[in-house]
Structure 1
């Protein structure tokens, strides 16, 4: 059987651990690479082995698609998530009114989607520190969103028009 590329001799120049092709940092010593050519440097030290927690970009985007701010909470950005959520709710429930209400409604949603994707990629490339877990508000918000959806399916209340104010994808689907 052939050997995979990660076993052919691509080693971290700092600790000597095996590095998978396409990685932007060493999963053993957590140091970032600036030049791909330095990955073949030999080392005589034994690397430490432990797993670095990374963010799945598709989960981050799916959460932001479902509810504004959830992707930020997943990435550990509690303040950004709250800012996106509160701005979205203020526009959605007409606390902030403007002639560009619909544009602002979808603009905040798309900005939250893009920021969640960008932030997850930066965490995975080790360009940004990650505290090691999602914000606790993620679980609270998921519970609240789950209750709202369960109430709708069980009782018919809140109406789809109301759900469209909370879930942008529902409003987009309603036309």
Structure 2
């Protein structure tokens, strides 16, 4: 006696996964569709692709506010984070001198903050691929920044002037 398999749903037009009849949301790719007739459209992506996670824009902004490059590391942009951090350190510790030192100091900080927010928005709108986790440099940089702050509170060294070179918000607060 032959058994007949009956399909329990239709294919999602975005990822090709099976969607039960009457549903307007794909549980695999997390996309909504409004018309049931869309469900038999040919798929352009592999059925095993799915969204791993999204980025919280406010976390990215807070990290970028604390230290230049941290928001990029959080969004998985390791090379951008390194570029922002090295550029900021070069300006902050006078490796590069120019008459626009203060403008570049705050400019790099604000551009890094804006880029981290923009990148998180692009990740959340699925306009840019995301591997599902932050760069490992994020945790290393947070440890270094935490060590600097702990040393300051325990010993008074480094001074606030030095902290202002590492943390742009401290320099802004000091005036």
Query: What is the TM-score normalised by the length of structure 1?
Result: 0.78
Partner SS, residue 52 of structure 1: coil
Q: In 2, distance between residues paired with 1:117 and 1:51? A: 19
CA 1:54–1:18: 2 relative to 1, 3 Å = farther
C-alpha displacement at 1:40, in angstroms?
A: 2.6
1:165 aligned onto 2:160: no
Aligned residues: 152
C-alpha displacement at 1:55, in angstroms?
A: 0.4
| 1:82-138 CA distance string (max 9 Å, x none) | 000000000000000000000000000000000000000000000000011100000
Deviation above 6 Å: which 4+ runs of structure 1?
none
Q: What is the CA RMSD across the aligned residues, in angstroms?
A: 2.6
Structure 2, unaligned runs of 5 or more: 1-11, 41-46
C-alpha displacement at 1:39, in angstroms?
A: 3.2
Counterpart position of 1:126? 126
CA 1:27–1:62: 2 relative to 1, 3 Å = farther
Structure of larger gyration radius: 2
Counterpart position of 1:41? 36
8 Å contact from structure 1 (residues 152, 159) kept in 2: yes
C-alpha displacement at 1:66, in angstroms?
A: 0.2
Counterpart position of 1:100? 100
Q: In 1, distance between residues paired with 2:57 and 2:27? A: 18
Query: What is the TM-score normalised by the length of structure 2?
Result: 0.78
Structure 1, unaligned runs of 5 or more: 1-11, 20-25
